Amino acid sequence: MKKSLYIFIFFISCLGSPGSLAAQTLNFRNYTVNNGLANSTVYYIHQDSKGFIWFATETGVNRYDGQNFQTFTMDDGLSDNEVLQIREDSKGRIWFLTLNGKLSYYLNNKFHNTENTAVLQKAFCKASFVSFFEDSKHRLWFSTNQREVVMIDGEDVEIFSSDRQYLTTSFIAENKRSEILILNRSNIYKYNNQNFTRLHSEHYPLSAKACFYDPKTKTLSFISKAGFVENNGENWVLKRKVPEEIMRNGISNFFFDNDKNTWINTVGNGVYIVSDSSNTASQHLLPGKYITHGLLDIDGNIWISTIGNGVYMLPELARKMQHYTVSNGLSDNSIYSLVKTPDERLVLGLKNGNLNIIKGNEILLKPLKNAESSYNPIKKLFYDQQNQSIWFASNNTLGEIKSDNKTIRYLRERDNLMYALKSFSISKSGKLAIALAAGVDILENKNAELIFESPNLSNPSLHFPSRAYTVFYDSAERLWFSNINGLQYQYRNKLTKLYQNDNQLKQRITDITELPDKTIACASYGFGVFILKDSKLVRTVTTKDGLGSNICKKVFYADGYLWVITGKGISKVSKDLKAIDNYHKENGLLSNEINDALTDKGSIYVASNGGLSIFGVHMKARKKKAIPLNLNYILINNEIIDLAEKTELNYRSNNLTVNFIGIDFNNPDQIIYEYRLKDDLPWTLTTNNTIEFGSLESGEYHLQIRAKGINSGWSKPILFDFVIKPPIWKTPWFIFLAIIILGPALFFLINTFYKRKRIKERERLLAKTKIIALEQQALQAMMNPHFIFNVMNSIQHFINTKDTVMANQLLTGFARLIRKNLEICNKSYISLEEELSYLSLYLALEKLRFGNKLKYVIDTDPEIDREETFIPSMLLQPFVENAIWHGIMPKETEGNIWIVIKQPEPNLLHICIEDDGIGIDNSYKLKTNDHISRGMELTQERINLLNKFDAPIQLDVQQVEKSGTRVTILIAI
């Protein structure tokens, strides 16, 4: 290992090959048919007033809410499946400009088309629609590619047509004087009182798609052959030129982002970004892609549609992030650690055991592999200001690259044993603490020989046994560490076990840091961040406070923020621990698997399994406004209701299903909702966007639902007021009539009820008396003469054969059985211990009589309290007797009886009596007379009577395969 590591020379040495640094990438999301798009060829993107994003494709349209793509086609009411453009008017109607010249719009979950709406029939054209505009008078203007312009004013439709070119493929807008302007490649016209007046201009748009209109400022601009042109009210002014490389490509559209950059989309060569103060493209994105349209949504996200590649989405924060990956020159995308040196070199520790050093426009590759393992990532780098050296740690290596740039020292175990390194920390005075799988060790001088000793009794003061997770020296040189026991610290040879005073501190702690006010912050694995003041836990920051995840891997303080690396990205926590910004893959990072981070000169560098990301420390991830929340539909007894009507429901319509959606395109999977049915009820939290209310009581309800994104506040609640009318018998007038009319009848019914109850009580007492009588009969029948006669014959046989031992045993057992029978014959219930004792005596006698022909086993669950568990007396003996006489005795070979007693539930006893005799079915076939076992008959009658008044007893008798019988008894106790 030492030999292989010596090949490393410090980052300013000549080893390693520098690679050119490619332009940093932007982290686009790509949506295709695999995600739900109707088609990968998308012509247009539109965001409606409710926040939904619409996509116009050649096989229908999609409405996207951040989680699901809803597809609409001609089957749903579209006038054509090939939609070229989607726009919205001031009434909330979503208009679809189609290829076949038939307009349609979507309003209140319904499509209106030429088949069901008269005004759309009047507006039919035999050409494709190419543009849409709503003027200040709320007239709707549509331009076609066949010298026609359609104007819809309420229910009136006017179609302007011309043989000349000025109405062909035009862009329609309104100037600041509310005059309608019509622009195309060679003309600019003003519409006034049914007349079109041509305006003089030196510049004309390249096409209708090369125009942009800002409805807020009524500013119209376009790209001409000369460059950007803007209308200032009277004249068309050339603002600046457009780079030639852009002009060579067909321009599909352009728009401005929140930083006043111009995004120019081209057909065939991607997207160009031109700053407001430059005539050159600052960035070229998605090269080679055929771009059809681009959009800036209300949250600042960029949406780009393409031909054949679906839709690309760039989150607002992602635009402000730089990324380095393998495509930019890195050796590996998985970066486990990083550190920055005073000479502005950024050193990256890679998963593959190498280092990358970024300096200016170069990336250096530095091998630092452990030859004994192909996986040994550099998981921690530390720049030592005192020694001007770099410390590096992997799974089983800790080393220091000295300031002479050539000498490397390595930590080793005294006996050269392998060690598993978890973490290390260096104090201001030069102590080195290491966290190992075997515990924590302290080296008093980091500049002395780096040798430690595996745990033993010779160095107890320097070693804290038990598997350790992390170590940290604070400014007071207290050594904080966490192991399998919990959080502890050592100060002046005194160990303080904080976990003994707070159970939360027993959790696994993965990293520790110190804040400027001497507060200690601990990252826990699954429980958020623990904040300690004066060695006491004073606060826990979790997902409830806005943290991205409770699984925290690293924590550090820099630039006025507490930074927490979690299982879902990295969180930036304000000084007061109240405001939290979360950065993750959904809003621009390359991966949610973050391994390390550092800040430097206002930027944060984030190392992940997807590469390196860089962005501003003060960049806000938290949205200033709440996310849009929309009520999709409400089902009453599984039928959709019209939300526009005041909802009054009868008492049978009291099952509601409410579906809604909060829209957050950056973090669609981290939206939470709260709802309540009345103002005085507490809010109920849920992550589902569907709520079901079953069997609601009659009354007035004021349903409120609100949503919250991970980086936003609560939205304004959506409201749904409804009333469930009570049934007629709960109305006041019905109750009044019922009291007057039904009072006497009710008195008669109550009197009759109690009479019947008294009669049933007498019947119950009679039945219980009968049960006692039947019990006595059953007991006498069980101890039947047949059994007594056989026992006496057996005793006589043993006496005649002078086998006095067996005779005495049989006689003694028989006497005990008779005495036991007399003891319990007057009891309805006996303990399980007494029943098994009686049954054992009976089986022992039968065993003495039949010898090896009969074998039996009684197995009772040891968890059963036999003394405190009571069952009906002598319940089991008749079934065992039947098993012997009708199952085993007819066999020519020996037989077995198994009695198993279990308690599967606290109040249920399960008894199974099973034999391997001839079986109950065969036994019935062998019967030569109509004899019925009186003992079994009485037992069954006794069970039937007990089931009427006491805890139920279930009985099941069945043959086991070809031979044998199983009797199952379930007794509620």
3-state secondary structure 193-211: CCEEEECCCCCCCCCHHHE
Do residue 804 and residue 862 come from a single domain? yes
Structure-block tokens of residue 758: 């008294």
Domain count, the chain: 3
pLDDT tens readout for residues 475-533? 999 999 999 999 999 999 899 999 999 999 999 999 999 999 999 999 999 999 999 99
Threshold 0.85, pTM exceeds: no
| CA end-to-end distance (rounded Å), the chain | 70
- Contact between 683 and 646 under an 8 Å Cβ cutoff? The reply is no
Which of 487, 502, 517 represents a domain boundary (last residue)? Answer: 502
CATH of the domain at 494: 2.40.10
What are the beta bridge partners of residue 54?
46, 63
For residue 582, which amino acid is it?
Answer: N
The pair phi, psi for residue 585, each rounded to 5°, is -60, -35
| 378-417 per-residue burial string, b: 16 or more CB within 10 A, e: under 16 | bbbbeebeebebbbbbbbbbbbbbbeeeeebbebbeeeee
Domain identity same for 793 and 892? yes
Task: Centre a 10 Å sphere on the Cβ of residue 571 and count the other Cβ atoms it contains.
Answer: 29
Same domain as 782, residue 705: no
Domain final residue pick, 697, 730, 763: 730
Counting every residue written for the chain, the total comes to 973
From 662, 696, 730, the end of a domain falls on 730
How many Å is the Cα radius of gyration of the chain?
44
pLDDT at 532: 97
Residue type, 267: V
Residue 417 lies in a domain: yes
**Do 850 and 910 share a structural domain?**
yes
Phi, psi of 735 (to 5 degrees): -65, -40
Q: Are residues 788 and 709 located together in one domain of the fold?
A: no
Instruction: Please indicate, yes or no, if residue 372 is contained in any of the structural domains.
Output: no
β pairing state of 180-183 and 188-192: antiparallel
- CATH number for position 694: 2.60.40.10
Number of C-alpha atoms within 13 angstroms, CB side, residue 19? 18
911 and 801, same structural domain?
Answer: yes
Q: What is the DSSP string of 730-780?
A: GSHHHHHHHHHHHHHHHHHHHHHHHHHHHHHHHHHHHHHHHHHHHHHHHHH
Measured distance CA(160)–CA(151) in Å, rounded: 8
Q: What is the distance of C-alpha 110 from the center of its chain? A: 33
- Asked whether residue 716 falls in the same domain as residue 790, the answer is no
Residues 711 and 839 in one domain: no
- Tokens of residue 288, six digits: 């080679």
Structure confidence at residue 10 (pLDDT): 29
Q: Which domain holds residue 666?
A: 629-730
**Which residue ranges in the chain fall short of pLDDT 50?**
1-23, 371, 461, 776, 780, 783
Query: Is the residue at 86 inside a domain?
Result: no
SS3 388: coil
Query: Does 906 map to a domain?
Result: yes
